[in-house]
Amino acid sequence: MPIAAIDTLKVSHKLQSAGMPRKQAEAVAEAMAETVEDRAGKDAVKEAVETLGRAVDKRFTALESKVDHQGAAIQRLEQGQTELRTEMNERLSGIESLLSKILDGQAVLHQNDMELKRRLDERKP
Protein backbone atom coordinates (compact mmCIF):
# COMPACT_ATOMS: atom_id res chain seq x y z
CA MET A 1 0.00 0.00 0.00
CA PRO A 2 1.60 3.31 -1.02
CA ILE A 3 2.10 5.81 1.73
CA ALA A 4 -0.13 8.86 1.30
CA ALA A 5 1.63 12.16 0.94
CA ILE A 6 0.39 15.67 1.64
CA ASP A 7 1.67 18.66 -0.30
CA THR A 8 2.54 20.71 2.78
CA LEU A 9 3.41 23.77 0.72
CA LYS A 10 -0.01 23.77 -0.95
CA VAL A 11 -1.81 23.26 2.39
CA SER A 12 0.26 25.99 3.99
CA HIS A 13 -0.58 28.45 1.16
CA LYS A 14 -4.31 27.64 1.43
CA LEU A 15 -4.25 28.23 5.18
CA GLN A 16 -2.34 31.50 4.71
CA SER A 17 -4.81 32.63 2.03
CA ALA A 18 -7.60 31.93 4.56
CA GLY A 19 -5.91 34.35 6.96
CA MET A 20 -3.68 32.09 9.07
CA PRO A 21 -0.20 33.41 9.89
CA ARG A 22 2.62 31.83 7.85
CA LYS A 23 4.41 30.01 10.72
CA GLN A 24 1.15 28.65 12.08
CA ALA A 25 0.03 27.53 8.60
CA GLU A 26 3.35 25.72 8.02
CA ALA A 27 3.12 24.01 11.44
CA VAL A 28 -0.44 22.86 10.80
CA ALA A 29 0.51 21.56 7.33
CA GLU A 30 3.51 19.64 8.80
CA ALA A 31 1.34 18.20 11.59
CA MET A 32 -1.23 17.04 9.03
CA ALA A 33 1.48 15.41 6.91
CA GLU A 34 2.94 13.58 9.94
CA THR A 35 -0.50 12.38 11.01
CA VAL A 36 -1.28 11.05 7.53
CA GLU A 37 2.13 9.36 7.29
CA ASP A 38 1.72 7.79 10.76
CA ARG A 39 -1.74 6.54 9.86
CA ALA A 40 -0.53 5.20 6.50
CA GLY A 41 2.36 3.45 8.25
CA LYS A 42 0.00 1.87 10.77
CA ASP A 43 -2.32 0.80 7.97
CA ALA A 44 0.62 -0.72 6.09
CA VAL A 45 1.68 -2.67 9.19
CA LYS A 46 -1.89 -3.80 9.78
CA GLU A 47 -2.19 -4.95 6.16
CA ALA A 48 1.14 -6.80 6.39
CA VAL A 49 0.04 -8.55 9.59
CA GLU A 50 -3.28 -9.52 8.02
CA THR A 51 -1.51 -10.83 4.90
CA LEU A 52 0.87 -12.83 7.05
CA GLY A 53 -2.07 -14.15 9.08
CA ARG A 54 -3.83 -15.32 5.91
CA ALA A 55 -0.62 -17.01 4.72
CA VAL A 56 -0.23 -18.76 8.08
CA ASP A 57 -3.88 -19.84 8.02
CA LYS A 58 -3.46 -21.21 4.49
CA ARG A 59 -0.32 -23.12 5.47
CA PHE A 60 -1.99 -24.44 8.62
CA THR A 61 -4.98 -25.62 6.59
CA ALA A 62 -2.63 -27.37 4.16
CA LEU A 63 -0.83 -29.08 7.05
CA GLU A 64 -4.13 -30.12 8.61
CA SER A 65 -5.12 -31.64 5.28
CA LYS A 66 -1.86 -33.59 5.11
CA VAL A 67 -2.30 -34.82 8.68
CA ASP A 68 -5.88 -35.88 7.91
CA HIS A 69 -4.70 -37.67 4.77
CA GLN A 70 -1.94 -39.46 6.67
CA GLY A 71 -4.37 -40.32 9.46
CA ALA A 72 -6.74 -41.87 6.92
CA ALA A 73 -3.86 -43.85 5.39
CA ILE A 74 -2.83 -45.13 8.82
CA GLN A 75 -6.43 -46.09 9.54
CA ARG A 76 -6.60 -48.04 6.26
CA LEU A 77 -3.34 -49.83 7.13
CA GLU A 78 -4.63 -50.73 10.59
CA GLN A 79 -7.87 -52.04 9.06
CA GLY A 80 -5.85 -54.11 6.60
CA GLN A 81 -3.73 -55.51 9.43
CA THR A 82 -6.87 -56.42 11.38
CA GLU A 83 -8.34 -58.18 8.35
CA LEU A 84 -5.06 -60.01 7.72
CA ARG A 85 -4.85 -61.16 11.35
CA THR A 86 -8.44 -62.40 11.20
CA GLU A 87 -7.76 -64.33 8.00
CA MET A 88 -4.54 -65.80 9.41
CA ASN A 89 -6.33 -66.90 12.59
CA GLU A 90 -9.09 -68.53 10.55
CA ARG A 91 -6.56 -70.38 8.43
CA LEU A 92 -4.60 -71.48 11.50
CA SER A 93 -7.81 -72.81 13.02
CA GLY A 94 -8.45 -74.71 9.80
CA ILE A 95 -4.92 -76.15 9.85
CA GLU A 96 -5.28 -77.15 13.50
CA SER A 97 -8.58 -78.86 12.72
CA LEU A 98 -7.02 -80.69 9.76
CA LEU A 99 -4.03 -81.79 11.86
CA SER A 100 -6.38 -83.02 14.56
CA LYS A 101 -8.28 -85.11 11.98
CA ILE A 102 -5.03 -86.49 10.61
CA LEU A 103 -3.89 -87.48 14.10
CA ASP A 104 -7.28 -89.07 14.81
CA GLY A 105 -7.00 -90.94 11.52
CA GLN A 106 -3.51 -92.15 12.42
CA ALA A 107 -4.79 -93.35 15.79
CA VAL A 108 -7.60 -95.29 14.05
CA LEU A 109 -5.10 -96.76 11.58
CA HIS A 110 -2.81 -97.72 14.43
CA GLN A 111 -5.70 -99.42 16.24
CA ASN A 112 -6.67 -101.23 13.03
CA ASP A 113 -3.07 -102.31 12.53
CA MET A 114 -2.95 -103.60 16.10
CA GLU A 115 -6.24 -105.43 15.65
CA LEU A 116 -5.08 -106.95 12.37
CA LYS A 117 -1.80 -108.03 13.93
CA ARG A 118 -3.64 -109.59 16.86
CA ARG A 119 -5.90 -111.54 14.47
CA LEU A 120 -2.95 -112.70 12.45
CA ASP A 121 -1.19 -113.81 15.60
CA GLU A 122 -4.31 -115.78 16.59
CA ARG A 123 -4.29 -117.68 13.27
CA LYS A 124 -0.73 -118.79 13.55
CA PRO A 125 -0.34 -122.42 14.58
> What pLDDT is recorded for position 4?
62
The pTM score is 0.47
> What pLDDT is recorded for position 43?
86
Of the two residues 44 and 69, the one the predictor is more confident about is 69
* Count of alpha carbons within 13 angstroms of residue 55, beta-carbon side: 6
> What pLDDT is recorded for position 90?
96
pLDDT digits (tens, 9 = 90+) for 97-119: 999 999 999 999 999 999 999 99
Quick check: 12 pLDDT over 80?
A: yes
Quick check: 2 pLDDT over 60?
A: no
In whole angstroms, how far apart are CA 33 and each of 20, 24, 36, 41?
18, 14, 5, 12
Residue 4 and residue 36 in contact, taking contact as beta carbons nearer than 8 Å? yes
Nearest alpha carbon to residue 3 among 42, 40, 46, 43: 40
Quick check: 1 pLDDT over 60?
A: no
